[in-house]
Amino acid sequence: MLTLLIVGCAVLGLAVGSFLNVVIYRVPLHQSVVKPRSFCPSCHTPIRERDNIPVLSWLLLKGKCRDCANPISKRYPLVEILCAALFGGAAARVGYRWDLPALLFFLAGLLALSYIDVEKLILPKRIVYATLFLVSASLVVAAGVNGQWHRLAVATVCAVAWFVAFFLLNFASPRYLGFGDVRLAPVLGLMLGWLGIRYVLLGFFSANLIGAIIGVSLLATKRIERSQQIPYGVFLALGAALAIYAGPELLIPFQTLHFK
Ligand SMILES: [Zn+2]
């Protein structure tokens, strides 16, 4: 039953989103994501078990800490809902397939990275490497179960190719492409490459198109200066998401193109 899988993944997404909130808050501060338990950022009182239910607790407490009544950021329920939607959407897209876990790890990693990139203009190494490791390990399992070693080989070549391309771009112009994006490149190449080379091209080109449109409109409305850095990692994540969720439809005109 596909509905069961979608609902299950959405609920899992709520729980994972709750963990991602901890990651988003603590990793840029170089703190552990396991210890101590979640606490209120204002008064540092540990969050009670019953106040730790994704989205629901935030609504019941009207976005305020039970102890100090200081507001709790909208980011908490927002990340949980986004993660639930991404997970449910991925389940609806691929169904009962062995590469679904890889896709979920990929989306969770990109969600945390995008949020941090927007707020702090960094893509922390710990999250990039953890995502790369979890996606690779899950894809090895998927390839093993289905005997799709050729597919894994294509994915690996795409990961290396994207890394090399960004490494050279960063070398040529470190101002426009930070090294954080170079580190992220193999993660994108691996996951989209697993889906197919067309997905890699779609992800890459739509990332730059989305980035150009948003960049130009922010410049035109004078929200940013020309010299200001933009969070390119977010556009890479958006491009990848577009390829995953809308790829099969967008790629219909290119169906006759066969890559071996
Ligand atoms: Zn508090």
pLDDT tens per residue across span 192-234: 999 999 999 999 999 999 988 988 888 888 887 777 778 889 9
Q: Identify the pLDDT of residue 258.
A: 52
Structural domain for 90, as ranges? 1-96
Do 130 and 119 share a structural domain? yes
The per-residue pLDDT for range 45-75, each reduced to its tens digit, is 888 888 888 899 999 999 999 999 899 889 9
Residues 61 and 154 in one domain: no
DSSP state of 221: T
What b-and-e string marks burial along 52-80, b requiring 16 or more CB atoms within 10 Å of the CB? eebbebbeeeeeebbbeeeebeeebbebb
What does the angle CA 175 – CA 177 – CA 178 come to, to the nearest 5 degrees?
85
Q: Side chain identity at 157, as an amino acid letter? A: V
What whole-number distance in Å separates Cα of residue 157 and Cα of residue 145? Answer: 21
Q: Identify whether residues 183 and 237 lie together within a single domain.
A: yes
CA of 65 to the centre of ligand 1 (A): 5
φ, ψ at 174 (rounded to 5°):
-60, -20
**pLDDT for the residue 231:** 86
Query: What is the whole-number distance in angstroms between the Cα of residue 28 and the centre of ligand 1?
Result: 21
**Where is the domain boundary, 80, 96, 112?**
96
Query: If you compute the radius of gyration of the chain from its CA atoms, what whole number of angstroms results?
Result: 19
- Do residues 74 and 156 both lie within one domain? no
Does 121 lie in the same domain as 69?
Answer: no
200 closest CA partner among 173, 167, 166: 166
Å from CA of 69 to ligand 1 middle: 6
pTM: 0.93
Centre of ligand 1 to C-alpha 61, Å, is 12
Per-residue pLDDT tens for 138-169?
999 999 999 999 999 999 999 999 999 999 99
Instruction: Report the C-alpha gap between 78 and 33 in whole angstroms.
Output: 19
Overall domain count for the chain: 2
Q: Is the dihedral of CA 164, 138, 203, 214 positive or negative?
A: negative
Residues 218 and 191 reside in one and the same domain: yes
Residues 111 and 230 in one domain: yes
Tokens for 55, please give them: 């989205």
- Tell me what pLDDT residue 104 has: 97
Same-domain check for residues 136 and 197: yes
State the distance from the centre of ligand 1 to the C-alpha of 47, rounded, in angstroms.
9
Do 115 and 236 lie in one domain? The reply is yes
Side-chain-facing half-sphere of 153: CA atoms under 13 Å: 5
**Quick check: 98 pLDDT over 50?**
yes
Nearest to 153 by CA among 243, 259, 25: 259
Report the pLDDT averaged over residues 94-123. 95
Q: Which of 96, 130, 147 is the last residue of a domain?
A: 96
